[in-house]
Amino acid sequence: MSNWRPKRFWKTASVVAEDGGFAVRLDERPVKTPAKQPLLVPTHALADLIAAEWDAQSGLVNPETMPVTRMANSAIDKVVPQYHEVATLLTAYGETDHLCYRATHPPALAEKQAIAWDPLLHWAAQALNAPLKTTDGIVPIAQDPAVLARLKEHVLELGNFKLAAFHDLVSISGSLVLAFAVGQGRLTAEDGWRLSRLDEDWQISLWGEDEDAAAAAAQKQADFHLAARFFALCS
């Protein structure tokens, strides 16, 4: 979508119920993805957000101001044709889940990690039937293949649109457990973001943060919140 910059030609964007979901029309013209597929989403609420993004355009269409449309496009054009590949890619995060790698020094950080992350790993063991092992430092630890297989089953159950949002929840946080916890309502998006940033925030408390790092973090935070909202609106 990044190279597609038409000029606004429509008066209003509206949502229309169709077989299989909800479409957005610009006057009477249906919106399509960059790959020319019908932009059909699973819920009216999600379609409403997309229509609002199109209604907010003036002059040339600016895809950077249309994050919900872009994520829906990704679900249709990228996730649908390679669903199992995307699911496999995300499941691999379970092998090196961010919550499983713990600091050995300073002790205060190790304690902070345990207090914040251990309850989530316990939740994953119960809710997802996926007990993950923890380790000190950054040396990889081998997770039980049966546990990883169960995590993959959960990922495969998400469906095209949730998987597109789940991709961002996982890749930004570095954690399958955090992504599932946000997606299933165990954590709010803000709590999920905060827990994913525990190590970085510790360093910032000691040394401060420069403007570039702060700007990059703010963008990731916005993307994480968007993914959580998109995920929730898919059902």
Q: pLDDT tens digits for 62-90?
A: 999 999 999 999 999 999 999 999 999 99
CATH number of 1-65: 3.30.2180.10
DSSP single-letter state for residue 88 = H
160, 161, 148, 159: which is closest to 93 by C-alpha?
Answer: 148
Task: Give the pLDDT band (50/70/90) at residue 5.
Answer: low
101-102 and 135-136 beta bridge pairing = parallel
pLDDT at 3: 54
H, E, C per residue of 177-234? HHHHHHHCCCCCHHHHHHHHCHHHHHHHHHHCCCHHHHHHHHHHHHHHHHHHHHHHCC
63, 69, 65, 32: which is closest to 49 by C-alpha?
Answer: 69
pLDDT at 1: 41
Can you give the residue ranges of every domain in the chain? 1-65, 82-232
Q: pLDDT tens digits for 88-121?
A: 999 999 999 999 999 999 999 999 999 999 999 9
**pTM (predicted TM-score):** 0.94
Alpha carbon distances (Å) from 77 to 69, 137, 170, 214: 12, 39, 20, 32
CATH number of 82-232: 1.10.3580.10
Q: pLDDT tens digits for 7-27?
A: 888 999 999 999 989 999 999
- Kindly state the helix (H) or strand (E) to which residue 46 belongs, with its residue range: helix 44-55
Q: pLDDT tens digits for 116-175?
A: 999 999 999 999 999 999 999 888 899 999 999 999 999 999 999 999 999 999 999 999
Q: pLDDT tens digits for 29-66?
A: 999 999 999 999 999 999 999 999 999 998 888 999 99
pLDDT at 139: 86
pLDDT at 2: 45
